[in-house]
Amino acid sequence: MSSNQALFERAQRVIPGGVNSPVRAFRAVGGTPRFIARAQGAYMWDAEGRQLIDYIGSWGPMILGHGHPDVLDAVQRAVTEGFSFGAPTEREIELAEEILKLVPSAEQVRLVSSGTEAAMTAIRLARGATGRSKLIKFEGCYHGHADALLVKAGSGLATFGHPTSAGVPAEVVQHTLVLEYNNLEQLDEAFRQHGADIACVMIEPIAGNMNFVRASVPFMTRLRALCSQHGALLVFDEVMSGFRVALGSAQSLYAQQIPGFQPDLSVFGKVIGGGMPLAAFAGPKAIMEKLAPLGAVYQAGTLSGNPVATACGLATLRLIQQPGFFDTLGARTRRLTEGLQAAATAAGIDLRGDCQGGMFGFFFADHLPQNYPAVMATDKERFNRFFHLMLDGGVYLAPAMYEAGFVSAAHTDADIDQTLAVATRAFQTLG
């Protein structure tokens, strides 16, 4: 049996940083990444045979838990029929129909292989549909690693963003304007200055890449109104929140509070693939028909809608529609989040948490942050210590204070109880 440390040293010789996605490297929290050998239900086992209660869930897709028998059966049957054909399959249609049934704002959907690909193409489609170049995103929202989105805020609203990655020329992000999340004043000013040139605004309605931060209802109401007024498209990035926070995704929650609310385009991933590489973007037929082969906006993908991934996603989407599924999932997630806050308070530690459906977050702070600067002002060092205390106690949280957590249908009350017991000891140590 190899140790995690030995595997990490071996990995660093052949893989940059020893990982194939940066957050897995534990750079934010320090220490050695856990190399996972297998998973089942709410648990993972690392290379040393250590059992961990999993609150990452492959960063969201595993809403049913690992290895659900119905999903396994669907995937195994699909594998025997063929991995990929480079030609259409009936299952692609079935998955598209299932997504559209649950998303009233959309009439057509295009399947792709990653959230980055879906978000990148949604922006291209918005630009093609509007004939405009500029886009707005919000600091702390992550929409994948397309060049135009790897950008930080400029010095003011008149100044567009600056690249946050080497290899991204400044001219690539010259049309990207970065605003502060939940800041109504900045939003109004951006549209006042640039409204006629804005193709789209892309937003995570519940941001999961600055931990867990909701767009306020007044902010979302104003954003929708400004997009409609100026002819810009509102693009909801629901790669993380889609079918995870509610059956109708985050947009259904805003529609309950804002009469007639709908985004113009939606981006999905994670849950719709059930853990397989699959994502999608969707919208009204009039916009979606601007895509090739019907329109002039080009997009293609060799493995898009491949039969194994669509089998996995279709089985997952059908299972989460069972009566009471989200009521039960949401109650369990609230119990975890409220329990963490209560245990911290009892230890004299400031901690605030929030959750929706099977997605949650918490901050070492005396209030819930509403934007990225406020998230950055929370106690990072205390989070890092807490993370390792939880990991030592057999609870696997995201290895960075900027990431949301995920509860699955496989988590039991006993799992929550055990997690809170470990957290109570951790808070007492921190206090």
Contact (CB, 8 A) for 113 and 279? yes
285 assigned to active site: no
Residue from 250, 268, 270 nearest 316 by CA: 270
Q: Which of 142, 181, 254, 396 is catalytic?
A: 142
Map residue 252 onto helix, strand or coil. Answer: helix
Furthest C-alpha separation in the chain: 62
**What amino acid occupies position 399?**
P
Spatial distance between the Cα atoms of 251 and 206, rounded to a whole number of angstroms: 10
Candidates 134, 159, 153, 299; CA nearest to 231 is 134
Q: Phi and psi of 214, rounded to 5°? A: -90, 145
| Annotated catalytic residue within 46, 270, 396, 402 | 270
* 3-state secondary structure (DSSP) of residue 355: strand
Confirm whether 181 is a catalytic residue: no
At which residue do the structure tokens 């020329």 appear? 169
Burial 158-195 (b: 16+ CB within 10 A, else e): eebbbbeeeebeeebbebbbbbbbbbeebbeebbeebb
Round to whole Å and give the CA distance between 310 and 141: 27
For 25-65, the DSSP string reads: G-TTT-S-PPPEEEEEBTEEEETT--EEEESSGGGTT-TT-
Whether the CB-CB separation of 175 and 160 falls below 8 Å is answered with yes
Among 46, 237, 354, 415, which one carries the catalytic annotation? Answer: 237
Please indicate whether residue 152 is annotated as part of the active site: no
Q: How far apart are CA 21 and CA 334, in angstroms?
A: 29
Determine how many CB atoms are found less than 10 A away from the CB of residue 225.
12
Q: Is residue 387 helix, strand or coil?
A: helix
> Which residues are annotated as catalytic?
142, 237, 270
